[in-house]
Structure 1
Amino acid sequence: MKLILATTVLALTASAAFAQQTVRMGTEGAYAPYNFINDAGEVDGFEIELGNELCSRAGLTCEWVTNEWDSIIPNLTSGNYDTIMAGMSITDERDEVIDFTQNYFPPADSAYVALSEDADITGVIAAQTNTIQAGHVAESGATLLEYATYDETIAAVRNGEADAVFADRDALVPTVEESGGELVFVGEGVPLGGGIGMGLRESDDELQETFNAQVTAMKEDGTLNELIVKWFGEEAATFE
Protein backbone atom coordinates (compact mmCIF):
# COMPACT_ATOMS: atom_id res chain seq x y z
CA MET A 1 0.00 0.00 0.00
CA LYS A 2 2.81 2.42 0.89
CA LEU A 3 4.48 1.71 -2.45
CA ILE A 4 1.25 2.44 -4.30
CA LEU A 5 0.73 5.67 -2.38
CA ALA A 6 4.31 6.75 -2.97
CA THR A 7 4.00 6.02 -6.67
CA THR A 8 0.78 8.01 -6.84
CA VAL A 9 2.34 11.00 -5.09
CA LEU A 10 5.32 10.94 -7.45
CA ALA A 11 3.04 10.78 -10.47
CA LEU A 12 0.99 13.71 -9.24
CA THR A 13 4.12 15.70 -8.46
CA ALA A 14 5.55 15.02 -11.92
CA SER A 15 2.23 15.96 -13.51
CA ALA A 16 2.11 19.25 -11.60
CA ALA A 17 5.69 20.06 -12.54
CA PHE A 18 4.93 19.42 -16.22
CA ALA A 19 1.85 21.64 -16.04
CA GLN A 20 3.94 24.46 -14.64
CA GLN A 21 6.32 24.14 -17.60
CA THR A 22 3.57 24.64 -20.19
CA VAL A 23 2.43 28.22 -20.75
CA ARG A 24 -0.72 28.87 -22.78
CA MET A 25 -0.05 31.85 -25.01
CA GLY A 26 -3.11 33.77 -26.17
CA THR A 27 -3.02 35.51 -29.56
CA GLU A 28 -5.50 36.75 -32.14
CA GLY A 29 -4.06 35.15 -35.25
CA ALA A 30 -5.42 37.96 -37.42
CA TYR A 31 -2.97 40.87 -37.22
CA ALA A 32 -0.07 40.25 -39.58
CA PRO A 33 2.84 40.52 -39.29
CA TYR A 34 2.46 40.46 -35.49
CA ASN A 35 0.38 37.27 -35.55
CA PHE A 36 -1.59 35.41 -38.21
CA ILE A 37 -2.62 31.98 -39.45
CA ASN A 38 -0.27 30.76 -42.19
CA ASP A 39 -1.06 28.60 -45.22
CA ALA A 40 -0.52 25.46 -43.15
CA GLY A 41 -3.24 26.57 -40.73
CA GLU A 42 -0.73 27.31 -37.95
CA VAL A 43 -0.20 30.47 -35.91
CA ASP A 44 2.74 32.43 -37.25
CA GLY A 45 4.32 35.87 -37.17
CA PHE A 46 6.66 38.06 -35.16
CA GLU A 47 4.99 37.40 -31.82
CA ILE A 48 4.81 33.65 -32.36
CA GLU A 49 8.52 33.42 -33.14
CA LEU A 50 9.34 35.75 -30.26
CA GLY A 51 7.08 33.95 -27.80
CA ASN A 52 8.57 30.57 -28.69
CA GLU A 53 12.08 31.96 -28.22
CA LEU A 54 11.18 33.50 -24.85
CA CYS A 55 9.70 30.20 -23.68
CA SER A 56 12.74 28.26 -24.92
CA ARG A 57 15.14 30.53 -23.07
CA ALA A 58 13.06 30.23 -19.89
CA GLY A 59 12.79 26.43 -20.13
CA LEU A 60 9.05 26.60 -20.79
CA THR A 61 6.82 25.09 -23.47
CA CYS A 62 4.54 27.46 -25.41
CA GLU A 63 1.04 26.27 -26.25
CA TRP A 64 -0.67 28.79 -28.55
CA VAL A 65 -4.36 29.58 -28.21
CA THR A 66 -6.24 31.84 -30.65
CA ASN A 67 -8.96 34.15 -29.41
CA GLU A 68 -10.97 36.98 -30.95
CA TRP A 69 -9.60 40.40 -30.10
CA ASP A 70 -12.67 41.88 -28.41
CA SER A 71 -12.69 39.17 -25.71
CA ILE A 72 -8.96 38.56 -25.44
CA ILE A 73 -8.52 40.27 -22.03
CA PRO A 74 -11.61 38.71 -20.36
CA ASN A 75 -10.49 35.26 -21.47
CA LEU A 76 -7.04 35.86 -20.00
CA THR A 77 -8.45 36.88 -16.63
CA SER A 78 -10.86 33.91 -16.65
CA GLY A 79 -7.97 31.49 -17.15
CA ASN A 80 -8.39 30.33 -20.75
CA TYR A 81 -4.69 31.06 -21.29
CA ASP A 82 -1.78 32.53 -19.33
CA THR A 83 -0.48 35.38 -21.50
CA ILE A 84 -1.52 37.68 -24.31
CA MET A 85 0.82 38.29 -27.24
CA ALA A 86 -1.42 40.00 -29.77
CA GLY A 87 -0.01 43.37 -30.75
CA MET A 88 -1.42 44.82 -27.54
CA SER A 89 -0.20 48.30 -26.64
CA ILE A 90 0.57 49.02 -23.01
CA THR A 91 -1.92 51.59 -21.69
CA ASP A 92 -2.93 52.83 -18.23
CA GLU A 93 -6.51 51.68 -18.82
CA ARG A 94 -5.50 48.10 -19.61
CA ASP A 95 -2.98 48.10 -16.77
CA GLU A 96 -5.86 48.53 -14.33
CA VAL A 97 -7.20 45.12 -15.36
CA ILE A 98 -4.08 43.09 -16.23
CA ASP A 99 -0.32 43.36 -15.85
CA PHE A 100 2.24 43.72 -18.62
CA THR A 101 5.84 42.76 -19.13
CA GLN A 102 8.18 45.46 -20.30
CA ASN A 103 7.58 46.25 -23.97
CA TYR A 104 8.98 43.88 -26.59
CA PHE A 105 8.15 46.32 -29.40
CA PRO A 106 8.99 49.99 -28.84
CA PRO A 107 6.44 52.80 -29.09
CA ALA A 108 5.71 53.34 -32.77
CA ASP A 109 3.41 55.48 -34.87
CA SER A 110 -0.17 54.73 -35.77
CA ALA A 111 -1.22 55.92 -39.23
CA TYR A 112 -4.10 56.59 -41.59
CA VAL A 113 -4.53 54.69 -44.86
CA ALA A 114 -7.07 55.50 -47.57
CA LEU A 115 -7.78 55.11 -51.27
CA SER A 116 -6.33 58.55 -52.09
CA GLU A 117 -3.93 61.01 -50.50
CA ASP A 118 -6.61 63.69 -50.26
CA ALA A 119 -8.95 61.51 -48.18
CA ASP A 120 -10.64 63.26 -45.24
CA ILE A 121 -9.08 61.90 -42.06
CA THR A 122 -11.50 64.02 -40.02
CA GLY A 123 -14.47 62.25 -41.62
CA VAL A 124 -15.49 58.61 -41.15
CA ILE A 125 -12.59 56.51 -39.84
CA ALA A 126 -12.46 52.73 -39.42
CA ALA A 127 -10.57 51.17 -36.51
CA GLN A 128 -10.50 47.85 -34.74
CA THR A 129 -12.65 47.78 -31.62
CA ASN A 130 -11.05 48.11 -28.18
CA THR A 131 -7.77 49.49 -29.56
CA ILE A 132 -5.88 52.65 -28.73
CA GLN A 133 -6.51 53.70 -32.32
CA ALA A 134 -10.28 53.49 -31.85
CA GLY A 135 -9.95 55.56 -28.68
CA HIS A 136 -7.91 58.19 -30.49
CA VAL A 137 -10.43 58.48 -33.34
CA ALA A 138 -13.29 58.83 -30.85
CA GLU A 139 -11.49 61.69 -29.12
CA SER A 140 -10.42 63.37 -32.37
CA GLY A 141 -13.90 64.46 -33.41
CA ALA A 142 -13.99 62.18 -36.47
CA THR A 143 -16.79 59.64 -36.87
CA LEU A 144 -15.58 56.28 -35.60
CA LEU A 145 -16.62 53.00 -37.23
CA GLU A 146 -15.45 50.05 -35.11
CA TYR A 147 -14.91 46.56 -36.49
CA ALA A 148 -14.06 43.27 -34.81
CA THR A 149 -11.02 42.53 -36.98
CA TYR A 150 -8.25 44.42 -38.75
CA ASP A 151 -9.25 42.92 -42.12
CA GLU A 152 -12.76 44.35 -41.72
CA THR A 153 -11.35 47.85 -41.22
CA ILE A 154 -9.45 47.58 -44.51
CA ALA A 155 -12.55 46.26 -46.26
CA ALA A 156 -14.53 49.25 -44.96
CA VAL A 157 -12.18 51.62 -46.77
CA ARG A 158 -12.21 49.58 -49.96
CA ASN A 159 -16.02 49.40 -50.12
CA GLY A 160 -16.52 53.07 -49.27
CA GLU A 161 -17.95 52.69 -45.77
CA ALA A 162 -15.04 54.67 -44.32
CA ASP A 163 -12.82 57.48 -45.61
CA ALA A 164 -9.72 55.95 -44.02
CA VAL A 165 -8.50 53.31 -41.59
CA PHE A 166 -6.41 54.13 -38.52
CA ALA A 167 -4.12 51.39 -37.19
CA ASP A 168 -0.54 50.52 -36.23
CA ARG A 169 1.69 51.73 -39.03
CA ASP A 170 3.71 48.51 -38.90
CA ALA A 171 0.58 46.47 -39.56
CA LEU A 172 -0.50 48.81 -42.36
CA VAL A 173 2.82 48.77 -44.25
CA PRO A 174 2.47 45.25 -45.74
CA THR A 175 -1.22 45.91 -46.50
CA VAL A 176 -0.34 49.04 -48.46
CA GLU A 177 2.56 47.34 -50.24
CA GLU A 178 0.41 44.37 -51.25
CA SER A 179 -2.40 46.62 -52.52
CA GLY A 180 -0.40 47.57 -55.61
CA GLY A 181 -1.04 51.28 -55.20
CA GLU A 182 -4.74 50.98 -54.34
CA LEU A 183 -4.12 52.04 -50.74
CA VAL A 184 -1.90 54.95 -49.63
CA PHE A 185 -0.79 56.52 -46.38
CA VAL A 186 -2.47 59.83 -45.56
CA GLY A 187 -1.24 62.58 -43.25
CA GLU A 188 1.34 62.30 -40.50
CA GLY A 189 2.00 59.43 -38.13
CA VAL A 190 0.50 59.61 -34.63
CA PRO A 191 2.53 58.27 -31.66
CA LEU A 192 0.30 56.35 -29.25
CA GLY A 193 0.81 54.02 -26.29
CA GLY A 194 3.87 52.77 -24.46
CA GLY A 195 4.92 50.08 -26.88
CA ILE A 196 3.65 46.51 -27.09
CA GLY A 197 3.99 44.11 -24.19
CA MET A 198 2.88 40.69 -23.04
CA GLY A 199 -0.31 40.76 -20.96
CA LEU A 200 -0.61 38.58 -17.86
CA ARG A 201 -2.99 38.14 -14.96
CA GLU A 202 -2.18 40.42 -12.04
CA SER A 203 -1.60 37.38 -9.84
CA ASP A 204 1.13 35.90 -12.08
CA ASP A 205 4.09 37.85 -10.69
CA GLU A 206 6.56 34.98 -11.09
CA LEU A 207 5.65 34.45 -14.75
CA GLN A 208 5.90 38.18 -15.37
CA GLU A 209 9.40 38.25 -13.84
CA THR A 210 10.44 35.24 -15.91
CA PHE A 211 9.40 36.79 -19.21
CA ASN A 212 10.75 40.22 -18.25
CA ALA A 213 14.17 38.66 -17.70
CA GLN A 214 14.12 37.00 -21.11
CA VAL A 215 12.92 40.14 -22.93
CA THR A 216 15.77 42.05 -21.26
CA ALA A 217 18.27 39.41 -22.38
CA MET A 218 17.02 39.57 -25.97
CA LYS A 219 17.26 43.36 -25.97
CA GLU A 220 20.81 43.22 -24.62
CA ASP A 221 22.09 40.58 -27.05
CA GLY A 222 20.43 42.22 -30.08
CA THR A 223 18.24 39.27 -31.03
CA LEU A 224 15.02 41.16 -30.34
CA ASN A 225 15.97 43.90 -32.79
CA GLU A 226 16.90 41.22 -35.34
CA LEU A 227 13.42 39.71 -35.08
CA ILE A 228 11.78 43.13 -35.44
CA VAL A 229 13.74 43.86 -38.61
CA LYS A 230 13.04 40.36 -39.96
CA TRP A 231 9.27 40.79 -39.66
CA PHE A 232 8.83 44.55 -40.12
CA GLY A 233 11.75 45.68 -42.27
CA GLU A 234 14.74 47.95 -41.86
CA GLU A 235 12.61 51.06 -41.24
CA ALA A 236 10.79 49.61 -38.23
CA ALA A 237 11.32 51.09 -34.77
CA THR A 238 13.92 49.14 -32.78
CA PHE A 239 15.48 49.33 -29.32
CA GLU A 240 18.62 51.41 -28.84
Structure 2
Amino acid sequence: MKKLILTVAALALSAGTALAGDVVRMGTEGAYPPYNFINDKGEVDGFERELGDTLCAKAALKCEWVTNEWDSIIPNLLSGNYDTIIAGMSITDERKQTIDFSDNYNPPAASAYVATKADADLKGVVAAQVGTIQADYVAKSGATLLEFPTLDDTIAAVKNGEADAVFADKDALKPFVTEGGEIMWTGSDVPLGGGIGIGLRKSDTELKAKFNTAIAAMKADGSLNAMIKKWFGDDAPVF
Protein backbone atom coordinates (compact mmCIF):
# COMPACT_ATOMS: atom_id res chain seq x y z
CA MET A 1 0.00 0.00 0.00
CA LYS A 2 2.82 2.42 0.89
CA LYS A 3 4.56 1.71 -2.43
CA LEU A 4 1.33 2.38 -4.33
CA ILE A 5 0.80 5.72 -2.58
CA LEU A 6 4.37 6.79 -3.34
CA THR A 7 3.99 5.79 -6.99
CA VAL A 8 0.78 7.80 -7.34
CA ALA A 9 2.45 10.79 -5.71
CA ALA A 10 5.39 10.55 -8.08
CA LEU A 11 3.11 10.39 -11.11
CA ALA A 12 1.19 13.43 -9.95
CA LEU A 13 4.40 15.38 -9.37
CA SER A 14 5.87 14.46 -12.74
CA ALA A 15 2.72 15.45 -14.62
CA GLY A 16 3.19 19.12 -13.84
CA THR A 17 0.36 21.62 -14.15
CA ALA A 18 -2.13 21.90 -16.98
CA LEU A 19 -1.80 25.65 -17.50
CA ALA A 20 1.92 25.32 -18.13
CA GLY A 21 0.93 24.43 -21.73
CA ASP A 22 -1.28 26.11 -24.30
CA VAL A 23 -3.93 23.38 -24.53
CA VAL A 24 -6.05 21.83 -21.78
CA ARG A 25 -6.68 18.18 -22.65
CA MET A 26 -10.14 17.04 -21.60
CA GLY A 27 -10.15 13.33 -20.80
CA THR A 28 -13.36 11.32 -21.16
CA GLU A 29 -14.44 7.72 -21.69
CA GLY A 30 -16.55 8.12 -24.83
CA ALA A 31 -18.70 5.14 -23.89
CA TYR A 32 -21.24 6.38 -21.33
CA PRO A 33 -24.18 8.05 -23.11
CA PRO A 34 -25.73 10.51 -22.68
CA TYR A 35 -22.83 11.84 -20.58
CA ASN A 36 -20.24 11.08 -23.26
CA PHE A 37 -20.08 8.92 -26.40
CA ILE A 38 -18.51 8.74 -29.84
CA ASN A 39 -20.86 9.95 -32.58
CA ASP A 40 -21.12 8.79 -36.20
CA LYS A 41 -18.32 11.19 -37.17
CA GLY A 42 -15.96 9.55 -34.70
CA GLU A 43 -16.03 12.59 -32.41
CA VAL A 44 -16.65 12.90 -28.68
CA ASP A 45 -20.26 13.94 -28.16
CA GLY A 46 -22.86 14.15 -25.41
CA PHE A 47 -23.72 16.28 -22.40
CA GLU A 48 -20.14 16.50 -21.18
CA ARG A 49 -18.78 17.45 -24.60
CA GLU A 50 -21.22 20.36 -24.81
CA LEU A 51 -20.61 21.31 -21.20
CA GLY A 52 -16.82 21.03 -21.45
CA ASP A 53 -16.68 23.16 -24.59
CA THR A 54 -18.88 25.78 -22.92
CA LEU A 55 -16.77 25.85 -19.75
CA CYS A 56 -13.56 26.16 -21.77
CA ALA A 57 -15.02 29.08 -23.74
CA LYS A 58 -16.14 30.84 -20.56
CA ALA A 59 -12.74 30.30 -18.95
CA ALA A 60 -10.90 31.42 -22.13
CA LEU A 61 -9.14 28.07 -22.34
CA LYS A 62 -8.10 26.26 -25.51
CA CYS A 63 -9.24 22.67 -25.02
CA GLU A 64 -9.01 19.41 -26.91
CA TRP A 65 -10.63 16.03 -26.22
CA VAL A 66 -8.92 12.75 -25.40
CA THR A 67 -10.58 9.37 -24.80
CA ASN A 68 -9.40 6.76 -22.33
CA GLU A 69 -10.84 3.52 -21.00
CA TRP A 70 -12.61 3.94 -17.68
CA ASP A 71 -10.56 1.48 -15.62
CA SER A 72 -7.33 3.47 -16.14
CA ILE A 73 -8.80 6.96 -16.37
CA ILE A 74 -7.41 8.21 -13.02
CA PRO A 75 -3.86 6.79 -13.42
CA ASN A 76 -3.58 8.35 -16.87
CA LEU A 77 -4.69 11.73 -15.52
CA LEU A 78 -1.97 11.50 -12.89
CA SER A 79 0.67 10.47 -15.44
CA GLY A 80 -0.12 13.54 -17.58
CA ASN A 81 -1.88 11.95 -20.57
CA TYR A 82 -4.59 14.61 -20.19
CA ASP A 83 -5.45 17.39 -17.75
CA THR A 84 -9.04 16.73 -16.68
CA ILE A 85 -11.49 13.89 -16.27
CA ILE A 86 -14.95 14.86 -17.47
CA ALA A 87 -16.58 11.46 -17.69
CA GLY A 88 -19.60 11.13 -15.43
CA MET A 89 -17.30 10.71 -12.43
CA SER A 90 -19.00 11.05 -9.05
CA ILE A 91 -17.23 13.02 -6.35
CA THR A 92 -16.31 10.67 -3.49
CA ASP A 93 -14.05 10.90 -0.45
CA GLU A 94 -12.10 7.87 -1.66
CA ARG A 95 -11.29 9.46 -5.03
CA LYS A 96 -10.42 12.76 -3.35
CA GLN A 97 -7.52 11.01 -1.63
CA THR A 98 -5.87 10.69 -5.06
CA ILE A 99 -7.25 13.51 -7.23
CA ASP A 100 -9.07 16.80 -6.80
CA PHE A 101 -12.50 17.80 -8.14
CA SER A 102 -14.16 20.94 -9.39
CA ASP A 103 -17.50 21.95 -7.96
CA ASN A 104 -20.19 19.55 -9.12
CA TYR A 105 -21.80 20.19 -12.50
CA ASN A 106 -24.48 17.55 -11.93
CA PRO A 107 -26.29 17.29 -8.60
CA PRO A 108 -26.36 13.94 -6.80
CA ALA A 109 -28.56 11.68 -8.89
CA ALA A 110 -30.10 8.27 -8.40
CA SER A 111 -28.50 4.96 -9.19
CA ALA A 112 -30.82 2.14 -10.18
CA TYR A 113 -31.16 -1.53 -11.03
CA VAL A 114 -32.30 -3.01 -14.34
CA ALA A 115 -32.91 -6.64 -15.23
CA THR A 116 -34.85 -8.85 -17.61
CA LYS A 117 -37.62 -9.30 -15.03
CA ALA A 118 -39.18 -6.99 -12.46
CA ASP A 119 -38.58 -9.37 -9.54
CA ALA A 120 -34.88 -9.97 -10.18
CA ASP A 121 -32.74 -11.23 -7.30
CA LEU A 122 -30.80 -8.15 -6.18
CA LYS A 123 -28.86 -10.24 -3.67
CA GLY A 124 -27.76 -12.63 -6.40
CA VAL A 125 -25.21 -11.71 -9.08
CA VAL A 126 -25.25 -7.99 -9.89
CA ALA A 127 -23.18 -6.47 -12.70
CA ALA A 128 -21.59 -3.01 -12.47
CA GLN A 129 -18.92 -1.10 -14.33
CA VAL A 130 -15.48 -1.53 -12.79
CA GLY A 131 -14.17 1.29 -10.60
CA THR A 132 -17.55 2.96 -10.06
CA ILE A 133 -19.36 3.92 -6.88
CA GLN A 134 -22.08 1.52 -7.98
CA ALA A 135 -19.61 -1.39 -8.00
CA ASP A 136 -18.51 -0.43 -4.49
CA TYR A 137 -22.14 -0.31 -3.35
CA VAL A 138 -22.92 -3.75 -4.80
CA ALA A 139 -19.84 -5.25 -3.14
CA LYS A 140 -21.13 -4.04 0.23
CA SER A 141 -24.79 -4.94 -0.38
CA GLY A 142 -24.51 -8.69 0.11
CA ALA A 143 -24.85 -9.42 -3.61
CA THR A 144 -22.14 -11.06 -5.72
CA LEU A 145 -20.43 -8.32 -7.73
CA LEU A 146 -19.60 -9.01 -11.38
CA GLU A 147 -17.52 -6.15 -12.84
CA PHE A 148 -17.12 -5.24 -16.52
CA PRO A 149 -15.08 -2.59 -18.40
CA THR A 150 -18.12 -0.81 -19.92
CA LEU A 151 -21.80 -0.24 -19.25
CA ASP A 152 -22.68 -2.06 -22.47
CA ASP A 153 -20.87 -5.13 -21.15
CA THR A 154 -22.98 -5.11 -17.97
CA ILE A 155 -26.20 -4.99 -19.99
CA ALA A 156 -24.97 -7.87 -22.15
CA ALA A 157 -24.25 -9.89 -19.00
CA VAL A 158 -27.86 -9.58 -17.89
CA LYS A 159 -29.22 -10.42 -21.32
CA ASN A 160 -27.10 -13.58 -21.61
CA GLY A 161 -27.85 -14.72 -18.05
CA GLU A 162 -24.44 -14.10 -16.47
CA ALA A 163 -25.96 -11.61 -14.02
CA ASP A 164 -29.35 -11.17 -12.38
CA ALA A 165 -29.31 -7.36 -12.61
CA VAL A 166 -27.21 -4.30 -13.49
CA PHE A 167 -26.64 -1.42 -11.06
CA ALA A 168 -25.57 1.94 -12.56
CA ASP A 169 -26.43 5.63 -12.89
CA LYS A 170 -30.15 5.80 -13.64
CA ASP A 171 -29.62 8.41 -16.35
CA ALA A 172 -27.18 6.13 -18.15
CA LEU A 173 -29.57 3.16 -17.91
CA LYS A 174 -32.62 4.97 -19.30
CA PRO A 175 -31.79 4.36 -23.00
CA PHE A 176 -31.77 0.61 -22.37
CA VAL A 177 -35.24 0.58 -20.81
CA THR A 178 -38.00 0.74 -23.41
CA GLU A 179 -41.70 -0.12 -23.20
CA GLY A 180 -42.11 -3.80 -23.95
CA GLY A 181 -38.35 -4.26 -24.20
CA GLU A 182 -36.10 -6.93 -22.75
CA ILE A 183 -34.61 -4.67 -20.04
CA MET A 184 -36.77 -3.20 -17.25
CA TRP A 185 -36.44 -1.39 -13.93
CA THR A 186 -36.30 -3.46 -10.76
CA GLY A 187 -35.87 -2.61 -7.10
CA SER A 188 -35.64 0.91 -5.70
CA ASP A 189 -33.49 3.88 -6.69
CA VAL A 190 -30.42 4.50 -4.53
CA PRO A 191 -28.87 7.99 -4.09
CA LEU A 192 -25.05 7.84 -4.14
CA GLY A 193 -22.12 10.27 -4.22
CA GLY A 194 -21.78 14.03 -4.03
CA GLY A 195 -22.69 14.83 -7.59
CA ILE A 196 -20.44 14.76 -10.65
CA GLY A 197 -17.42 17.01 -11.05
CA ILE A 198 -14.33 17.50 -13.18
CA GLY A 199 -11.40 15.43 -11.93
CA LEU A 200 -8.05 17.21 -11.78
CA ARG A 201 -4.56 16.68 -10.44
CA LYS A 202 -4.16 18.22 -6.97
CA SER A 203 -1.42 20.49 -8.33
CA ASP A 204 -3.78 22.15 -10.84
CA THR A 205 -5.29 24.68 -8.46
CA GLU A 206 -5.40 27.50 -11.03
CA LEU A 207 -7.22 25.33 -13.57
CA LYS A 208 -9.67 24.18 -10.89
CA ALA A 209 -10.42 27.80 -9.99
CA LYS A 210 -11.10 28.70 -13.62
CA PHE A 211 -13.53 25.81 -14.06
CA ASN A 212 -15.25 26.56 -10.74
CA THR A 213 -15.83 30.16 -11.80
CA ALA A 214 -17.34 29.02 -15.10
CA ILE A 215 -19.52 26.36 -13.42
CA ALA A 216 -20.78 28.93 -10.89
CA ALA A 217 -21.68 31.33 -13.70
CA MET A 218 -23.68 28.63 -15.50
CA LYS A 219 -25.50 27.74 -12.29
CA ALA A 220 -26.30 31.40 -11.66
CA ASP A 221 -27.70 32.16 -15.13
CA GLY A 222 -29.67 28.91 -15.44
CA SER A 223 -27.78 27.67 -18.50
CA LEU A 224 -26.43 24.60 -16.68
CA ASN A 225 -29.93 23.52 -15.64
CA ALA A 226 -31.13 24.02 -19.23
CA MET A 227 -28.28 21.86 -20.54
CA ILE A 228 -29.01 19.11 -17.99
CA LYS A 229 -32.67 19.03 -19.04
CA LYS A 230 -31.71 18.99 -22.72
CA TRP A 231 -29.67 15.80 -22.28
CA PHE A 232 -31.46 14.07 -19.40
CA GLY A 233 -35.07 15.24 -19.63
CA ASP A 234 -37.31 17.63 -17.75
CA ASP A 235 -37.49 15.36 -14.70
CA ALA A 236 -33.70 15.31 -14.19
CA PRO A 237 -32.33 16.66 -10.88
CA VAL A 238 -31.11 20.25 -11.34
CA PHE A 239 -29.52 22.99 -9.23
* TM score, norm. by length of structure 1: 0.90
What is the aligned residue count? 221
Map Cα deviations across residues 160-207 of structure 1 (whole Å, 9 max, x no partner): 100000000010111213x75211110110010000000000000000
Give 1:21 shift: 3.9
CA change 1:39–1:129 in 2 (3 A) is: same
Partners in 2 of 1:182 and 1:162 — Cα distance?
A: 14
> Equivalent residues in 2 for 1:58-77 (5 A)?
58-77=59-78
* Structure 1: tracts of 5 or more residues without a match: 1-17
Q: 1:79: which partner in 2?
A: 80
Map Cα deviations across residues 114-165 of structure 1 (whole Å, 9 max, x no partner): 0010111111000000000000000001000000111100100011100000
The SS at the match of 1:41 is: coil
> Equivalent residues in 2 for 1:1-240 (5 A)?
20-177=21-178, 180-239=180-239
Partners in 2 of 1:19 and 1:88 — Cα distance?
A: 25
Q: Is the 8 A contact 1:21 1:59 kept in 2?
A: no
Partners in 2 of 1:84 and 1:30 — Cα distance?
A: 14
The SS at the match of 1:208 is: helix
Partners in 2 of 1:100 and 1:88 — Cα distance?
A: 10
* Structure 2: tracts of 5 or more residues without a match: 1-18
Partners in 2 of 1:33 and 1:112 — Cα distance?
A: 18
Task: Give percent identity, aligned residues only.
Answer: 69
Give 1:61 shift: 1.6
Partners in 1 of 2:191 and 2:72 — Cα distance?
A: 25
* TM score, norm. by length of structure 2: 0.90
Runs of 4+ in 1 over 6 A off after TM superposition: none
CA root-mean-square deviation? 1.2
The SS at the match of 2:104 is: strand
